[in-house]
Structure 1
Amino acid sequence: MEDLTQSWSRLTLTNREGPGCSLTATDSLEELSILAKFFTKRNLSIDAIARTFNPIWRARNGFKIQNYGDHMVLFTFDNKNDVDRIIASEPWSFDKHLVAMQKYDKETPIDEVKFERASFWVQLHGIPPKYMTKEAALKISGVIGEVTVPKEFKEIDGGNFLCLQVSIDLSLPLCRGRLISLENGRQVWISFKYERLPNVCYWCGRLTHDDKECEIWIDNEGTLKPDDRQFGPGLRASAFTPTRKMGLTVPGYYSSRKKAETTIVTTPMEAEVTANLEQLAMIITENTQANGRSETNRVTPTKELKCNAQSNNNCVAESMTRDINYGLENNIKTDMNVEPLLDPQQHEFQLHSININT
């Protein structure tokens, strides 16, 4: 009997079989899903898939896996950030074969979902330094697929190459490069290299099958030689880390020196010392006022710190030493536990606990 789910439109439906039942959001599961297509001929093991992706994805609350057959697997999460991060981190592979993924709303029948694209980070090598710009990179990489426009140039700057994220049509061969023309009439070949590239057919350049499954190989009855390959390992590239510093802008010599002479550099340690000095000065002032003595000729710690950057550390040390000595000489008691030690070589402060209680 023919499957009614495929032929109901040709049937005359009764009142019970016809429209009248509507499902809403309240009837659905509050879950987020990723549907994946594994481009391999081997049988899939759910346990092996879990062992592979669990330590890589590190999902906050874990995930569920369900095998739907035809190498289609449904991953279910309860955290939107996990889903967004996994999709943004394409490409993925399993057993060195491509795994195409997409968000799935569970409304479209699984057998109707098409896996036509996958995202890759593609490096552009051979661009003349004059044209190492975001605009040039976008123009060159347009033939690869749908390019994600970067916000800033530093996101794609690899030093001697540029790197962009591109959504590739899986029905087409990988683009090996592009011949570009410069203003002087010279032609330059720009090579495309793909990061985290899984198995690719070196006969036709597609990611959906291996060499021995390629129609070109089969049509030639296995007589092709390695020299007949139009693609090769040169398509692969090591992953690029944009956080690595690839360049530096150096300011003018004299302008930087002038700025250094007028700028007071305050480290966290100096800020702590200053706070201790102010507290000590307050205690000293209270005690001297109680004894009827004047402090008009004494420089306060706050004023003492107003010096240039090069002598700032010395000022703090001298001021603090003078305050502590003053307190000791005049039998001023305090529970502050501070001791300034200035390393003349490193110009850094260290705090050691001592009790100033005389």
Structure 2
Amino acid sequence: MMSPKVATEVGNKMGVVEDVGRRRRTDDQSFFLRVRVALPIAKPIRRGGFLLGSDSKRHWVTYKCERLPLFCHYCGILGHDIRHCPAHFTASKAAATVEYQYGDWLKAENGRSKSPPRRSKENPMRSEPVGHTDTVAIANDEGIEEVTALARASDYRAGQKPWN
């Protein structure tokens, strides 16, 4: 059941398959298949799905996503959070309690090593921004410490960066 063909089938249920990872390990990671999928941003993220096993039984497969960007824990759509979700706003007005079908459990523990941030030529203490995060190196008495600051559009005031 753990083959590139199955990985492609699962990936096609989520979106458009771009790449299927080749397994080289035989440890705990051999229980996972890595598939690169282009997700449709207008639809909720798929949390899982049924696959027909070799024993002709349906098996539930839970999907986990690496590098998952901002998504709503209420509606599962990429690009906004609960505070900016119109469906959550409507549901919270109508009911006292709201049930969330999505959460951080969709994010996979990333087993791949991350490359270090690139340093800018003008200031080697400062890293170049990547996406919505910016890694900043701060010098103190003990040496250099790296701090990651989340840069949200609402944090910018009159051209200032949120860490100023």
Under a length normalisation based on structure 1, what TM-score does the superposition of the two structures give? 0.28
Q: Could you tell me which residue of structure 2 aligns to residue 181 of structure 1?
A: 52
- The answer to whether structure 1 residue 196 and structure 2 residue 67 are counterparts is yes
RMSD: 2.5
Deviations along 1:292-348, whole A, 9 cap, x unmatched? xxxxxxxxxxxxxxxxxxxxxxxxxxxxxxxxxxxxxxxxxxxxxxxxxxxxxxxxx
* Residue 133 of structure 1 pairs with residue 23 of structure 2: no
**Distance across 1 between alignment mates of 2:52 and 2:112:** 29
The CA distance in 1 between the partners of 2:6 and 2:63, in whole Å, is 14
Structure 1 stretches of 5 or more lacking a match? Answer: 1-130, 243-358
Q: Is the 8 A contact 1:196 1:238 kept in 2?
A: no
How big is the shift at 1:175?
Answer: 0.8
Deviations 1:116-162 (A, max 9, x none): xxxxxxxxxxxxxxx1111111112211111123474439x932211
CA distance in 2, matches of 1:148, 1:224: 42
TM-score, length-scaled by structure 2: 0.58
Structure 1 or 2: more helix by fraction: 1
* Aligned counterpart for 2:97 among listed residues 212, 225, 248: 225
Alignment deviations for residues 75-109 of structure 1 (CA, whole Å, 9 cap, x no partner): xxxxxxxxxxxxxxxxxxxxxxxxxxxxxxxxxxx
SS of structure 1 residue aligned to 2:101: coil
Q: Distance in 1 between matches of 2:79 and 2:69?
A: 10
Q: What is the SS of the residue equivalent to 1:143?
A: helix
Cα distance in 1 for partners of 2:16, 2:96 equals 33
Which residue identity does 2:10 align to in structure 1? Answer: I
Measured in 1, the distance between the counterparts of 2:49 and 2:110 equals 21
Counterpart among 128, 137, 143 of residue 13 in structure 2: 143
* CA radius of gyration, larger in: 1
Residues 150, 193 of structure 1: CA spacing in aligned structure 2 closer, same or farther, 3 A cutoff? closer
Partner of 2:86: 215
Displacement of 1:230: 1.3
Identity %: 25
1:240 and 1:224 map into 2 onto residues whose CA distance is 39
Say how many residue pairs are matched: 110
Match for 2:97: what amino acid? K
Residue matched to 1:205: 76
Provide the secondary structure at the position in 2 that maps to 1:180: strand
CA deviation after TM superposition for structure 1 residue 211, in Å? 0.5
Q: 1:184 to 1:150 in 2, by over 3 A?
A: closer
Structure 2: give runs of 5+ residues left out of the alignment: 114-164
1:62-87 per-position Cα deviation (integer Å, ceiling 9, x unaligned): xxxxxxxxxxxxxxxxxxxxxxxxxx
